[in-house]
Structure 1
Amino acid sequence: MEYIVPKHIIAVSAYIMNENNEILLVKVQWRGDTWEMPGGQVEEGEPLDQAVCREVLEETGLTVKPIGITGLYYNTSKHILSVVFKVEYVSGEIKVPAEEIKEAKFIALNEDNIDEYITRPHMKSRTLDAIKAKNFIPYETWKVDPYNLVGRL
């Protein structure tokens, strides 16, 4: 029996809240029917916490710091594992790159109005989970041979 190496995509997204309790959402060029948390695919060998910072910077111009993970989600059709991080704003102003993101803004989002903004059910559930999260899942990055802890949230 031949062993087949699994092929999965790992994606990250960021739950960012400002001082007015508004959540940063973006509209992606090819998913213009919905708003979503900023994020994208993790590059090969890239630690997840660094990937979420890179994606937020690329999509919004903001520098952020990860605090923890609010949830893990798997899409069986496209073999995508999505990891949602809660992050804190560090610096920068929202700047939208024209090639990928149509719009980015902070929105006063809650359970009562979420359907006005997030139209895709899988994105809605992750956002609501992030809003409700009181505790975070630990996250560690390790380098092996020899074992070295690179980072921990």
Structure 2
Amino acid sequence: MNNHPKHIIAVSAYVTNEEGDVLLVKTHNRSDTWESPGGQVEEGEALDTAVYREVFEETGIKITVLGITGIYYNATKHLMSVVFKANVEGGLLKVQPEEIKEAAFVPLSEENINEYITRPHMKSRTLDAMNADHYISYETWEVNPYQMTGRLDA
């Protein structure tokens, strides 16, 4: 019997518009808090592609992905979450009811974060993204032959 490790990989994005407001969502199963839009990475999907797709699916907003601000692991659920920082590229804010309950751009700050984000693990990753002044390098590769298909610079 061969037991391969099973982990879930999720992505989310700290998205700001031209006014500096932050895109937040409320999900159906976590309606007690606001959080950054995101979701699970599909098998074979690049992380930056996944975060673009998830934000668009949930909110109708198209983003420019700037970089990774943090990687977080939920040991209980075997879930690794990669958080990106992004800017609004276009689209219109439109809640996708099958995906999320509510979405809004809010003037989020360290002073008012508790009014929006109630879960401590969501708060820490949001603060990390809010205060990030650099990013983690990220590359996507295909092998045989080796071919880089994407890169976000630090």
TM-score by length of 1: 0.97
Structure 2 gaps of 5+ residues are none
CA RMSD of aligned residues (A): 0.9
Q: CA deviation at 1:4?
A: 2.3
Deviates further, 95-104 or 66-75: 95-104
State the partner residue of 1:45. 44
Aligned mates of 1:62, 1:110 — CA distance in 2: 21
State the partner residue of 1:17. 16
Provide Cα deviations, 1:79-125, integer angstroms capped at 9, x if missing partner: 00000011121110101011221111111111111111101000000
Q: CA deviation at 1:19?
A: 1.5
TM-score by length of 2: 0.96
State the partner residue of 2:29. 30
Overall identity of the aligned pairs, in %: 63
Provide Cα deviations, 1:2-49, integer angstroms capped at 9, x if missing partner: 652100000000111111111100000111000000000000000000
Provide Cα deviations, 1:46-91, integer angstroms capped at 9, x if missing partner: 0000000000010000111211100000000000000001112111
Aligned mates of 1:57, 1:86 — CA distance in 2: 15
Aligned mates of 1:60, 1:97 — CA distance in 2: 6
Match of 1:64, SS? strand
Aligned mates of 1:31, 1:7 — CA distance in 2: 24
**Aligned residue type for 1:111:** E
Aligned mates of 2:75, 2:36 — CA distance in 1: 20
Match of 1:24, SS? strand
Provide Cα deviations, 1:116-143, integer angstroms capped at 9, x if missing partner: 1101000000000000000000110000
**Aligned residue type for 1:143:** E
State the partner residue of 2:73. 74
State the partner residue of 1:124. 123
Q: Which runs of 4+ in 1 moved over 4 A?
A: none
Q: Does 1:65 align with 2:64?
A: yes
Structure 1 gaps of 5+ residues are none
Aligned mates of 2:21, 2:112 — CA distance in 1: 12
State the partner residue of 2:141. 142
